[in-house]
Amino acid sequence: MEFEKLNNGIEMPVLGLGTYALRGSTCERIVAAAIEIGYNLIDTAQMYRNEQEIGNVIKHFDRKNLFITTKLYSPSASYERAKRDIEKSLNDLQTDYIDLLLIHEPYRESLSMYEAMKEAYQDGKLRALGISNFDKGQYLNFIRHCEIIPAVNQVECHVFYRQQDLQNILEENGTKMQAWSPFACARNNFFSNPVLKEIAEKYSRTTGQIGLRYLIQTGVPVIPKSSKPERLKENIDVFDFTLDGEDLKKIRALDGGESLFGWY
């Protein structure tokens, strides 16, 4: 696994497991299988309602080798509620600390939530603070008012919506962009895209691997999700090849500049 140093010096794996829509025993089975084959970042959220299942699994592994991300959403939208819900995540995840806590999307109360997060960070309950789904304007406004620059902004990012401008602004200010839905959640026929297919053949890889490698190689950590163990292996096997400049250019041309999820 490769790591990215965040703005407070802690190291975040550049690839992790997304867990949206993984629930119950399937979630436990997939998270355990992923950790066993070398995933050490698990991305969850209070919204996904699977923190308990993830907690049931991670307690059987060496905690210091794992990087757990979770997110607060609208039910936590005040200082008091965020304070309460940080304890809930710690409790459900059955851990003494969370590696990265994000605000799931911009809320009117984001700064109050962030204040509660800052206190938990100072108490050693969180190792890094971040945000998610903040566009350029929302991010710049947020950092004007907060004391700790978010370590991460987790946003939609894939070959069809690369968000290079946002990445540049974030990096100028010390925040790492992390990609959610790095396969575009299979939209736009991602896995059978002819450009990705041609490049995949050249490197004897799959289209999924080319899509992940492109993001990692251009400085964006990724959190692909799969509910199939054989795909978990395929999706982490992206560290022993390098896309050349011509291929990067061809992939860059797939960027349509528009969200496929209508988030922004």
Query: How long is the chain?
Result: 264
Q: Choose the stretch contacting ligand NAP; rule: CB under 6 A; options: 3-11, 110-118, 168-176, 180-188.
A: 180-188
Does 185 bind ligand NAP (CB under 6 A)? Our answer is: yes
Does 99 bind ligand NAP (CB under 6 A)? Our answer is: no
| Cβ neighbours of 106 (radius 10 Å) | 17
Pick the catalytic residue from 20, 39, 48, 214.
48
Q: What are phi and psi of 245, to 5 degrees?
A: -55, -40
The mark string for 217-256 relative to ligand NAP (x by CB under 6 A, - otherwise) is ------xxxxxx--x--xx---------------------
C-alpha 53/C-alpha 32 separation (Å) is 10
Place of tokens 């988030």: 263
Does 20 bind ligand NAP (CB under 6 A)? Our answer is: yes
DSSP string of 104-117? SS--TTHHHHHHHH
48 catalytic? Reply is yes
C-alpha 190/C-alpha 20 separation (Å) is 19
Does 43 bind ligand NAP (CB under 6 A)? Our answer is: yes
Residues with a catalytic annotation lie at: 48
| Interface positions with ligand NAP (CB under 6 A) | 18-20, 43, 104, 132-133, 154, 180-186, 191, 208, 223-228, 231, 234-235
